[in-house]
Structure 1
Amino acid sequence: MTTLVLIGPMGAGKTSIGRKVAKSLGVPFFDTDIAIVRAHGPIEEIFASQGEAVFRGLERAAVREGLAGGGVVSLGGGAVLDADTRADLAHHRVVLLTVEPHVVASRIRGTERPLLQAEDAAARWVEISAARRPIYEELADVTFDTSSGPLQNVVEAVAEWARSTEEETK
């Protein structure tokens, strides 16, 4: 199985869905945010003590590691801002997970996410998501919305798409 990459805004379910898709496909799962936390500590602390630029450098290294390992790779919401990451994704199948603003509001309530530390986290999320959406759409081979229905339905749809496109690439 070649690498399958999940991209999308914060709170779209990339980690939850990615972990289950990987299990369904019988391949490894790699999450860039989890890798950064394991190696360097909480993301909010990296932002606070070292700044976003340092975090983005760590994120870029985690993306390279994940892509090199194969399987299902979940990228942090802002990873696609890096030009080298965007170039790397051209060589992989990319799934965009989307979510409606009214749904994500409950998912991000009380969040520690550094970019959402605003008076109105949901409004900040909308702003960030809208700014990144053209990049997500340009990179994506397929899009699945996670706003409604059981999460398992999205997992099955992504896994089915991955299997069908794997056969096409042989």
Structure 2
Amino acid sequence: MSRTIALIGPMGAGKSSIGRRVAKHLDRRFVDTDAAIAREHGPVPELFARHGEAAFRAIERGVVQRELAAGGVVALGGGAVLDPGTREDLSDCTVVLLTVDEQAVAERIAAGGRPLLTDGLASWRRIAAERAPVYAALADVVVDTSRRPMTRIAAELAEALRQEEER
């Protein structure tokens, strides 16, 4: 597989969990851009609190650009696609949109640590709805993660991506 696989979608859709598993199935490197940002700059919630969303997005842009260029399987933070440069970079990737319904995501986001979810599920609904058209426009593949085990979703997605690459 030569093209970078980029996973996009709303918070709590499983981009990190599925991305890690897909990369293992395909024997490719995996990076979660939020985790890379945290390693390099400190925890994401602290970055938001100290410097604001605009500063975070500038840092995010640089990390996303670097990691997409490096290849493999890359899980992007939910808002990374808001940047026009990132959307342009994604045109060279196979973009997988992971979706999730409200019922399934409620459990996943309950743990907290997501600075934009100031009002819990209501914030998630609003943000997901705002970003949905951007996600849809970028997606080559759409996978719902609401009801099936992550391991099964990842195995099926990896096989579909492998078959697509062989064509």
TM-score for the superposition, normalised by structure 2: 0.97
Moved over 2 A (4+): none
Matched with 2:108 is: 107
What does 1:1-170 correspond to in 2, within 5 Å?
1=1, 2-118=3-119, 121-168=120-167
Counterpart of 2:76 in structure 1: which amino acid? L
Give the distance between the partners of 1:60 and 1:82, measured in 2 at CA: 7
After TM superposition, give the deviation of residue 152 of structure 1 in Å.
1.4
SS of the residue corresponding to residue 143 of structure 2 reads strand
Say what the alpha-carbon RMSD is for the aligned residues: 0.8
SS of the residue corresponding to residue 18 of structure 1 reads helix
Counterpart of 1:52 in structure 2: which amino acid? E
Deviations 1:85-122 (A, max 9, x none): 0011111100000000111001101311100022xx01
After TM superposition, give the deviation of residue 162 of structure 1 in Å.
1.2
Give the distance between the partners of 1:77 and 1:27, measured in 2 at CA: 22
Give the distance between the partners of 1:69 and 1:34, measured in 2 at CA: 16
**Equivalent residues, number:** 166
SS of the residue corresponding to residue 113 of structure 1 reads coil
SS of the residue corresponding to residue 9 of structure 1 reads coil
- The answer for unaligned runs of 5 or more in structure 2 is none
SS of the residue corresponding to residue 116 of structure 1 reads coil
Residue identity over aligned pairs, in percent, reads 55
Give the distance between the partners of 1:136 and 1:53, measured in 2 at CA: 20
After TM superposition, give the deviation of residue 164 of structure 1 in Å.
1.6
Give the distance between the partners of 1:110 and 1:156, measured in 2 at CA: 26
After TM superposition, give the deviation of residue 14 of structure 1 in Å.
0.2
TM-score for the superposition, normalised by structure 1: 0.95
- The answer for unaligned runs of 5 or more in structure 1 is none
After TM superposition, give the deviation of residue 72 of structure 1 in Å.
0.3
Counterpart of 1:126 in structure 2: which amino acid? R
Counterpart of 2:161 in structure 1: which amino acid? A
Give the distance between the partners of 1:101 and 1:67, measured in 2 at CA: 29
After TM superposition, give the deviation of residue 156 of structure 1 in Å.
1.3
SS of the residue corresponding to residue 114 of structure 1 reads coil
